[in-house]
Structure 1
Amino acid sequence: MLKRYIVLAFRNLRRQRLFTFINIAGLAISMAVCLMVLVSLHETFSYDNFHPHAGRIFRVTTKVETTDGRKYHMASTPLPLGEAINAGYKDVEQVTSVYSALIDDAAANGKEIPVRAAFTNEAFFRIFGFKLKWGNANTIFADPNSIVVSDNLAQRYFGAGNPVGKVIRFSKYGNYTISGVLETPPSHSHLDFDAYASLAAVPVLEQSKALPQMLQSWDQVQGAYTYVLMKEGKGSKAINDLLAVESHRYDIMKKEKRGSLSFASQPLNKITPSQELYDDITSSPPWGKVLTEALVALGLLICACFNYINLTIVRSLQRAKEVGIQKVNGAQRWQIFLQFIIESVILCFLSFILAITMLSIARPDLRIWNAEILLLFLVFSFVTGVVAGIIPAWSLSSFQPVKVLKNMVDIKLFGGIGLRKTLIVIQFTLSIASIFFLITVARQFSYKAVVDMGFARKDILDVPLEKTNYELIKQRMLGLKDVEACTATSGVLGMPRETRFCRIRTRENKEGIEFGYYATDNDFIKTMHLTLVAGTNFPAANTDQERYIVINERAAGALGNKTPGEAIGQNVWLNDSTQVSIVGVLKNFNYQPIEVDIRPMALRFLPQEFTKLQLKMAKGDKPAQVAAVQDIWQSFNPGKEWKAEWMDESLAARNGREVVSMLSFLVFICTLIAALGLLGIVSYTSFIRRKEISVRKVLGADVISLLVLLSQNYLKLIFIAALIAMPIGILGSSFFLRIFAYRVSLGILPMALGFLGLFVLALITILSQTWATVQVNPAKNLRND
């Protein structure tokens, strides 16, 4: 029986070539996108799945509320928390701290490479499932200056040999002896440091001022991460109870009305996908991106399934007669249902083969050729086939032989609404709503690319400072004829994550206010074309000791000043330790991306935090200018990799081009699938109405009236879809625009133009079939009647 069903399925698919092509093409395109999303989701949900005690591992997080009501959920904790938990609670089996401070250029075997490393202890390897390729796990950190490196880093330095015993020298943190090499883990981990050094090295580094005082500091929350392995049978409740006890350390903050701080637990399997905690170290995609990808892929697949359902329904006259004959010959309903399901599954497997072929050509880098992924794909294809075939199979198998052998039986939904019309409306509603959303996204990112953020960004060359004396290299750069100005800074304005933060308080305001800041020299204001509204710049003869700051207008108001001029000369304290005087107030500008409102900020003179030189170049030959700057830079940094960037290009790379391109591609596919479905339905409807059209032509109907007759119902459905899609598109666009503090208006006119474009596409699709029908000679259709 199964063989017979398969033969019948291929026979029907071959007989209806146009509908088979439309179905396979639509399903294959949507399945290709879905398969890409499945690969991405498979990788995302495979993070940290190789740890043997994963169900008992928790990361401790910190919840902070400031005095002005702002709340922060941080992935990091104070560094001494790990030791406190390890010493005081019987339900805890192991505790480890990961202190991500060992980030520096490191040299070994004649090579210098940027290394992202962290300090930890032996418990790290007992809690997690990382395996050693070389080295002894029992003595891995016997020496305080021991370090365990990843296999990738070891090969970059030493090739394929065993590097245990070799020395790596960090420019800021001294020498470390390799005591072990980690095997490449079987899947991704949110802990993806290049190396792990012994936490026992930190006290010496703190004494030498190479690291800040963190080991005994309960006030510093950033940079350290605490992981707890609970004993068997002790889970979330036990760890939350002990964290509630530890949180009492900060009760004094509430009493003194300085905000609040408490600890919370996060199970290891909840770290990825990322919950976008502050100061997180995971590189996994956030939940929002994961859900968006899944919903978009599901939407495309639903559109393709609608095509299959719709095209099957419009062919129901021929299939209904087939069903009627089968039932007259004794076929049971379940047999007919199974036949249609098998046809649907076969069509999905053919689409799956085409989708895999397209992916292999378009994305050869995609890791799809492994047994687990392919099995997932096959199951996905089978489920898609069953889901797509259920409605047609159930409906067609329910036809009564007497009725279907006499006339067409249409399939109705609630209130007698045709299923075909409903599916067309749903498909075009999705297409129109997605077009509205795409237009809003494109307009917002275009606005982001050109908006005046209040500082210069054209012809600014960003050059890494490395460990060079900034004054010496700056003077050399200023000697170039095309360099109009030069400044040293800790970050690039307008770039996310490059703003640093500190707490500033006045004598009256003991609680203080969180400020963003950039470490700069006294040429920063001139180079960036910032505007002073009161006071002056840093003194030209500044010293290494920080004595002055320049703030923005928002900061002047936050410090209690009614006008910018009142802030000049005011003494403030930075992080409760450094007293400085305000010498200037800048006009407000967007020092962070436009997603964020302008907040209090300061410019500070901190040469030890300078990481970049920013050069204002004259108009001219950019490649020649870069080459001249590179020659000077490499004379200060021989053998180092050159990584200069133009500031406007760096900011432009953050204007969402990739998001718009990806969204445009998905909207195009969604619209293409809807158009293919409409093409098939109109083609079939025109075919079954060919005799009616011929009779009307014989009776004198003109071409225009016939085109209107065949097209009007479909155009009405598209207008209905537009009416439904408009509030959906506006609502989705409004939610998107809320991400940005500075944004465009919704723009009804651009949305109307988007709908007009889709309407023209639908009209062309409809007329391509109806025109051919009305042009046929009536005698050809009526010769046998």
Structure 2
Amino acid sequence: MFKRYIIITLRNLKKQRLFTFINIAGLAVSMAVCLIVLISTRTNLSYDNFHPDISRIWRVTTRVVTPDGRKFHMASTPLPMAEALKNNYTGIEQTVPIYNALFGEGQTDQKKLDIRGAFTSPAFFSVFGFKLAAGNPATALSAPNSIVLSAETAQRFFGTADPIGKVIRFDKLGSYIVSGVLQPAPSLSHIDFDAFGSLSSVPGLEQSKALEGRTQNWDIIQGSYTYVKMRPGEGRSVLDAAIADIGHRYDDMPRKGQGSLFFEPQALSKITPSRGLYDDFGAGPPWTKMLAEVGVALGLLICACFNYTNLSIVRSLQRAKEVGVRKVNGAHRWQIFIQFIVESVFMCLLSLILAVFLLLVMQSTHFDALPVPDVNLLDWRLLLWFLALSIVTGAVAGIIPAWALSAFQPAKVLKNLVDIKLFGGLGLRKSLIVVQFTLSIAAMLFLVTVYRQFSYKATMDMGFYRKDILNVPLADVDFQRMKERMEQLKGVGMVTASSGTLGMPRHCRFFELRTNESKDKIQFGYYAADADFIKVMRLKLVAGTTFPAAASRDREQYLIVNERALQVMGIKSSADAIGKTLWMNDSTAMNIIGVVQDFNYQPMEVNIGPMALRFRPAEFNQLQMAMVAGDKEQEIAGVKSVWQELHPGETFSAEWMDEQLASRNGQEVISMLGFLVFISTLISALGLLGIVAYTSFTRRKEISIRKVLGATAPGLLLLLSKNYVRLIIIAGCIALPIGYLGSMFFLQIFAYRVSIGILPMLGGFLALALLALITIFSQTWRAVGINPADNLRND
């Protein structure tokens, strides 16, 4: 029986070439997108699934409400939290602190490499289940100044040589002896550092001022994380009680007008995909991104399934005779139902083959608009997932046509059943067309807003200069020495040293200050910069001066703040701020020597807040050079030559500031979204083309009779097209508010944004409506242009 189903399926597919092409093409393209999302989702959901006793492991997070009512959910906690929980609460078996302060350039006698690491305790291995390829997990992180490397980092530093006992030196954090090498984890983990240093190293680093004091400081939340493993049988309620008890130390914050703070547990299994917590170090994607990907893929797949459903229904007249004959010959309804399901699944399997072929081509050509994950697409386990998706898609797409067509009665086989009535008389075929174009139009309107916002982001004046600025890493060379050498080069104007690039995410650092008049601390963003930073970045100094040439490198004395900081501190004018003292702690006071006009020192997603420039040479990591307009390649070649003299044997890297900022202007997002909108529109247009072509064919005799009776071509064109035009207008009316709401939610991400604008949205709608009209008129005009004699000669 199944063999007969396949033979009938192949015969029908060959007979209906247009129907076959439209469905296979639409399904293949949409399934290609779905397969990419399936691979990505499978990866995203594989985080942290290898940790032992995962149901007993929690991360403590912090809920903060600022005095002005802003709410933050932070992944971090004060560093003493882990020890306090372990020592004072019996329901807790073990705690693991992670303090991500082990970063910088690590060097051996042969190599220098950037390391992103963290300090942690020996319990790290027993709690999380990480294995060591070399070293003893019980002692690897016990002694101060010991370090465990990831397998990749060990290979980068030492190649195939045994790394145990070797020394890695940091410029500020001292030297560390390699005591272990991690085995690659069985699957992905959100805890993904290059190296782990012993937490017992931190007190010494704090004593030497290499790190700020945190081991006993409950006031600093950022940068340290607390993981808790509960004893068997102890649940969340025990942990809730423990962290609530510790949280009592912050009970007086509301009374002092400092907002509020409390702690909250988060299950290890719920960390990734990310919930978008502040100060999180996890490598996993956020839930919103993953759900958006799944939503887009399902939307495209639904469009393709609608095409199949729609075209199957309009072919119902032709298939009605087939169903009638088979029922007269004794076929049961369930047999006919299965026949149509087999046809649908078979078509999806053909589409799957084409989709995998498309992915292989995109993977080999590195297609940017729709990047394919770098995995083996022909892996049998992955192919099983693909096959399951294909079968489910085929069954879903075919179930409505199969149910409808198998219900035909032989006695009524000639009845016109092109349109199955649904929802109080509204045709299913019409409903599907409306839904398809609603999705396409809404996506187009959303794309228009995304494009306008990112275009605005690319051209917005952020308040600083960024053209012809070359960023060059300092590495371990003194900034003044390197600066003087670079200033001697032809084509180099002014040069400044800084801790990061203005406007780039995570380049801005934060600290807290208070005034003499208040004990309340104010959070400032800051960049470390030298005296020429204001001139190179062309910031407007509205009062005071820049840093003096004689400013101390070791003792910080001066601050340059923005106008927003004055507003928060209640200072009425810029002139009044000059000379005012701000306190970082009880022993560190700094004087305001300058005030700059507000500028977007953070990405435009963030409102301008209090900000300071600080003269802290220890934090300088790059030179920013204002280049004279000319041959950029020649200029970089000169900079490279000097840089390599100062860094023998090291690899030179430099980046233009405007290109660095432009990399965040969403071109990849626009390209991918544009490609997906194109696919969605193409699928909808193909479906509309097939439906109009088929219905025009079924009305050919009606058209011929009307022409014989004197109907004009424009009148017939209007007659055949008006129903479809009406459907496109209905789709537009539904899509406009959907597109508007989607655009509004998207723009909420940005503190500085474009207005949605009704004209751009109408432009997007009219573009798609024009495409639909071209599709409709191309087929109806062909039907109108046929000679009536050709259709009526046999009647």
Q: What secondary structure is seen at the aligned counterpart in 1 of 2:630?
A: coil
Aligned to 2:210: 210
Shift in CA distance, 784/577, structure 1 to aligned 2, threshold 3 Å: farther
Q: Distance in 2 between matches of 1:322 and 1:737?
A: 54
Alpha-carbon separation, structure 2, partners of 1:465 and 1:524: 15
Task: Note the C-alpha offset of 1:407.
Answer: 4.2
Q: Are the counterparts in 1 of residues 315 and 418 from structure 2 also a CA contact under 8 Å? A: no
Q: Give the Å deviation of 1:409.
A: 5.7
Aligned counterpart, 1:440: 449
Q: SS of 2:421's equivalent?
A: coil
1:407 and 1:472 mapped to 2: Cα distance?
88
SS in 1 for 2:253: helix
The 5 A counterparts of 1:334-353 are 334-353=334-353
Question: What is the one-letter code of the residue matched to 1:126?
Answer: S
Preserved CA contact (<8 Å) 1:505 1:576:
no
CA contact (8 A) 2:314 2:418 kept: no
Match of 2:783? 773
1:528 corresponds to which of 537, 544, 554: 537
Q: Once structures 1 and 2 are overlaid, which stretch shifts more, 753-762 or 247-256? A: 247-256
SS state at 2:191 partner: coil
Provide the rounded CA distance (Å) in 1 between the counterparts of 2:584 and 2:136.
Answer: 46
1:159 and 2:159 equivalent? yes
**Structure 2 residue 489 is the aligned partner of structure 1 residue 476:** no
Tell me, what secondary structure is at the counterpart of 1:137? Answer: coil
Q: What is the CA–CA distance in structure 2 between the aligned matches of 1:409 and 1:67, rounded to whole Å?
A: 65
Deviation, 1:784, is 1.2
Whether the aligned pair in 1 keeps the contact of 2:63 and 2:72 (CA below 8 Å) is yes
Q: CA deviation at 1:450?
A: 0.6
Mapping for residues 143-292 of structure 1, pairs under 5 Å: 143-292=143-292
1:767 and 1:252 mapped to 2: Cα distance? 73
Q: CA RMSD in A?
A: 1.8
The one of 448, 455, 458 equivalent to 1:449 is: 458
Deviation at 1:417, TM superposition (A): 1.2
Residue 496 of structure 2 is matched in structure 1 by 487
Aligned equivalent of 1:556:
566
Confirm or deny that 1:418 pairs with 2:410: no
1:126 and 2:126 correspond: yes
Instruction: Give 1:698 shift.
Output: 2.3
Output the CA distance in 1 between the equivalents of 2:317 and 2:581.
87
| TM-score (ref. length: structure 2) | 0.96
Give the unaligned 5+ runs of structure 2.
Answer: 365-373
Contact 2:166/2:177 (<8 A) preserved = yes
% same residue: 61
SS of residue in 2 equivalent to 1:429: helix
> Is the counterpart of residue 784 in structure 1 residue 794 in structure 2?
yes
Give the C-alpha shift of residue 652 in structure 1: 0.9
- Residue type matched to 2:261 in 1? L
Take 2:784 and 2:255, find their aligned partners in 1: how far apart are those partners? 84
Which of 755, 764, 767 is equivalent to 1:757?
A: 767
Q: 1:735 to 1:231 in 2, by over 3 A?
A: same
Cα gap change, 1:656 to 1:198, in 2 (>3 Å) = same
2:673 is aligned with 1:657 = no
Give the residue type in structure 2 aligned to 1:697.
K
Query: Cα distance, 1:14 vs. partner?
Result: 1.6
- What is the DSSP-based 3-state SS (H/G/I as helix, E as strand, rest coil) of the residue aligned with 1:49? coil
Change in Cα spacing, 1:772 to 1:97, as seen in structure 2 (3 Å) is same
Distance 1:652 1:659 in 2: 13
Contact 2:105/2:475 (<8 A) preserved: no
Deviation at 1:352, TM superposition (A): 1.0
Identify the residue that residue 86 of structure 1 maps to in structure 2.
Answer: 86
Residues in 2 aligned to 1:641 and 1:19: alpha-carbon distance in whole angstroms:
58
SS of equivalent residue, structure 2 residue 138: helix
| Equivalent residue letter for 1:522 | A
The residue number in structure 2 matching 1:497 is 506
Secondary structure class of the residue paired with 1:360:
helix
Unpaired segments of 5 or more residues in structure 1?
A: none
**Alignment counterpart, residue 620 of structure 1, candidates 626, 630, 639:** 630
Question: What amino acid sits opposite 2:468 in the alignment?
Answer: D
In the TM superposition, residue 161 of structure 1 has moved relative to its aligned partner by: 4.7
Map of 2:518 onto structure 1: 509
For 1:398, the equivalent position in structure 2 comes to 407
Number of aligned residue pairs: give it: 785
Shift of 1:257: 3.1
- Does the aligned pair in 1 maintain the 2:122–2:142 contact within 8 Å? no
Measure, in 2, the Cα distance between the counterparts of 1:216 and 1:646. 42
Q: Secondary structure at the match of 1:749?
A: helix
Q: CA deviation at 1:464?
A: 1.4
2:68 alignment partner, SS class: coil
1:375 maps onto 2:414 in alignment? no
Instruction: Look up the match of 1:323.
Output: 323
Partners of 2:434 and 2:728 within 8 A in 1? yes
Distance 2:472 2:585 in 1: 30
Report the counterpart of residue 690 of structure 2 in structure 1: 680
Q: Is the alpha carbon distance of 1:289 and 1:60 closer, same or farther for their aligned partners in structure 2, counting shifts above 3 Å?
A: same
Q: Deviations over 1:250-271 (max 9, x none)?
A: 2243443323222211111111
2:18 alignment partner, SS class: helix
TM-score normalised according to structure 1 size: 0.97
Q: For residue 228 of structure 2, what is the amino acid of its counterpart? A: V
1-structure distance, mates of 2:591, 2:205 = 31
Q: Distance in 1 between matches of 2:574 and 2:187?
A: 55
Structure 1 residue ranges, 4+ long, deviating more than 6 angstroms after superposition = none
Say if 2:446 and 2:740, in contact at 8 Å, map to a contact too.
Answer: yes
Deviation string for 1:181-204 (max 9, x for gaps)? 221112111111112222222222
- SS of 1:443's partner is helix
Measure, in 1, the Cα distance between the counterparts of 2:612 and 2:417: 77
Deviation readout 1:657-684 (Å, 9 max, x if unpaired) = 1111111011000000000100110111
Shift of 1:576: 4.8
Letter paired with 1:302: I
Q: Distance in 1 between matches of 2:558 and 2:105?
A: 31
